[in-house]
Amino acid sequence: MKKAVLLVFFNRLDNLKKVFEQVRLAQPPRLYLASDGPREKVKNEKEKVEEIRKWVLNHIDWKCDVKTRFLEKNSGGCAYGVSGAVTWFFENEQDGIILEDDCVPSQSFFPYCEELLDKYKDDKKVWHITGYGYYQDPNAQETYYFAKIQHCWGWASWADRWKHFSLDLTNYDEKNIKNFSRHHVVRKFMKRLLRRLRNSNPKETWAWPWSFWIVAHNGYCINPYKNLITNIGVEGEHYGKNDKDSSNSLNKNAFEIDTMVHPKAVCYNTKAIDYIYKYHYGIGLHSFFGWEHNDKTRYQETRFNMFTLPVIKIKKYENRTKFYLFGIRLK
């Protein structure tokens, strides 16, 4: 292996061990470790964070250069912690692979990323390489396809693409939204999401701003036809107690790649893109809503699958009904 790996972690040692084991097997020559600082109001978190940092450093048993970004104070959430770590990584590397502590890769993920980083280094249309395959086609002759927005669970990119990233979308040109999809319902959805991202303070996510900047530059994102990443985040601490069944994206099996077969041309797979919008992100091209029911809390809600943040929520408490859009009370 020749490329560097950035490993981002915080307070989930059990999850981290599973990811770290796959990194250890791959033996990257340069390993970047990023850990956000403990939150002041969370009891015993400082001790937990320090314990995890020591564990990682003590278990690096292969020859590699190690760089650390261990913050003393919490940055204010994963939007700042992860994006800050990626920026630091690309200040030191021209390209590389990024893993968070709940994204367990197959071993094929590493050579897959390495080959694609080299192949598309000078093709400035290609911005993002992901190992997570939500849309899977076992009969596809090629190893991967091109999509419009990225998956952030196990990915790779280049410093000259990431330099365009910003959490601040205040001056983002809404005309770029048409690049997301030919479907009006998707464009309408993204426009609403953009307004929420602009108004959120503190920022909730780094991943969606990254998607917006990719689309603004008509960038291409590489997705595999076979899933290479298992997200085990449902076992961690940033999911609610009732969220364990909230996503059909977690704990998918990760596979190995026998032979890399490249597409003949760089062009979007519109079938896959529409599928992802409808089923992964919950937008729906025939129906805007996706329903789930939770008997314990006695409410129905529509979820937009962005770190389980609700877009439309309809709560029913006996004879009272409350409507929310992006967390804002409508009725």
pLDDT tens readout for residues 303-313: 333 333 344 44
Q: Domain boundaries in the chain?
A: 5-288, 289-331
Among residues 235, 256, 305, 276, which one has the least CA distance to residue 105?
A: 256
pLDDT at position 280, please? 86
pLDDT at position 232, please? 93
Q: Count CB neighbours of 12 within 10 A.
A: 20
In the structure, what pLDDT confidence band is assigned to residue 211 with cuts at 50, 70 and 90?
Answer: very high
Q: Which residues pair with 328 in a beta bridge?
A: 325
Q: What percent of the chain has pLDDT over 70?
A: 81
Tell me: pLDDT of 238 over 60.
no
Say which residue the tokens 């408490």 belong to.
Answer: 317
d(CA 177, CA 255): 34
d(CA 144, CA 224): 4
Q: What is the identity of the amino acid at 1?
A: M
Please count the CA atoms within 13 angstroms of the CA of 105 that sit on its side-chain side: 30
d(CA 114, CA 129): 10
Say which residue the tokens 């048409």 belong to.
Answer: 178
Candidate ranges 62-66, 133-137, 241-245; pick with highest mean pLDDT: 62-66
d(CA 53, CA 57): 6
We find that the CATH architecture of domain 5-288 is Alpha-Beta Complex (3.90)
Contact 260, 115 (CB under 8 A): yes
Among residues 114, 80, 67, 68, which one has the least CA distance to residue 95?
A: 114
| pLDDT tens-digit readout, 94-116 | 999 999 999 999 999 999 999 99
Helix (H) or strand (E) holding 6: strand 5-9
Tell me: pLDDT of 276 over 80.
yes
Among residues 226, 225, 243, which one has the least CA distance to residue 234?
A: 243
Q: Count CB neighbours of 254 within 10 A.
A: 23
Q: Which residues 6+ apart lie within 8 Å of 198 measured at CB?
A: 169, 170, 172
pLDDT at position 248, please? 65
pLDDT at position 64, please? 97
d(CA 87, CA 164): 11
Say which residue the tokens 């409350």 belong to.
Answer: 322
| pLDDT tens-digit readout, 120-163 | 999 999 999 999 999 999 889 999 999 998 999 999 999 999 99
Its pTM stands at 0.84
